[in-house]
A = this chain, B = another copy of it.
Amino acid sequence: MAGALPHHAPAVVLLSGGLDSAVALAAAKRDGFACHAISFDYGQRHRVELEAAARIAARAGVPHKVVGVDLRAIGGSALTDDIDVPKDRSEAELSGSVPVTYVPARNLIFLSIAAGYAQTLSAWNIFIGVNSVDYSGYPDCRWPFVEAFARAANFATGVWDDRDRATLQRPGFTIHAPLINLTKVQIIRLGRELGVDFMLTHSCYDPGESGIACGHCDSCLIRRRGFAEAGVPDPTRYHARVPAVEP
């Protein structure tokens, strides 16, 4: 893909501080984009991920912006409310319906802010590390959403102008979701290939005061299982004694 692209075209990369977005950033860099990372301080209980995002951006040598958006005010999620984060759920539970850690419309909100930021940079490429293969309980991680979002963003920002359909000013936003069809195992292998330092990334939804990964929430379980299945050592420091995850 890199060969066909205008190199050093600016791109905005959503960077949560987790594993997936760190790999998405590495993929954007591999493809020759001049990346601008953006993170969101949205009232998440795992706010420590913002420090991980800052470390990842610094290591990648890209500018990093943190935007505050108070999603605690709208509530409706275990990540922003005083609802318990589920622990040690079974494979079947992980693969089931929308989990309580779903933050209503989160990727819609984050991509919208990213599109506004991108417009100020004249950047028409946005990278997001969503993936829809494993545990796709979050509706805003699937392709029809990403595609519908690009259309809305093009009209919102005037890139597409309905008053003059014949002559679009610019090709418009491209939303890149390079991990969307990858399994967690494939994402971890791609990350290793691209030199992502997994030690810098944070996945845990419920790190408490210590900032140390709990090892038992959905996000920790998926991460641990991914490393185990990929046969890649997981450098994460988990809280206390975490029983081994069988691949």
A residues near B (Cβ < 8 Å) are: 65-71, 73-76, 98, 103-109, 111-113, 115-117, 119-120, 139-140, 142-145, 148-149, 151-158, 160-163
Contact = CB atoms under 8 A, between A and B. Distances in A.
B152 A139 contact: no
A88 B109 CA distance: 35
21 contacts: A68-B68, A68-B69, A74-B116, A74-B120, A76-B116, A104-B117, A104-B119, A105-B156, A105-B157, A106-B116, A108-B115, A108-B157, A139-B155, A142-B155, A142-B163, A145-B152, A148-B148, A148-B152, A148-B155, A149-B155, A151-B152
Contact of A108 (B66, B68, B112): B112
Given A67-B73, A76-B120, A142-B162, A105 B109 contact: no
B76 A119 contact: yes
A26 B189 CA distance: 56
A150 to B, nearest CB: 9
A8 to B, nearest CB: 21
A175 B58 CA distance: 41
A98 to B, nearest CB: 6
Contacts of A109: 109, 112-113, 116
Contacts of A70: 67-69
Contacts of A105: 112-113, 115-116, 119, 153, 156-157
Most chain B CB inside 10 Å of its own CB: which residue of A108, A151, A156: A156
Contacts of A112: 105, 108-109, 111-112
A144 to B, nearest CB: 4
A128 B140 CA distance: 23
A116 B104 contact: yes
Given A74-B113, A108-B116, A155 B145 contact: yes
Nearest to A157: B105
6 tightest A-B contacts by CB? A139-B158, A105-B116, A76-B120, A145-B155, A104-B116, A108-B156
Nearest to A111: B112
B119 A139 contact: no
Nearest to A139: B158
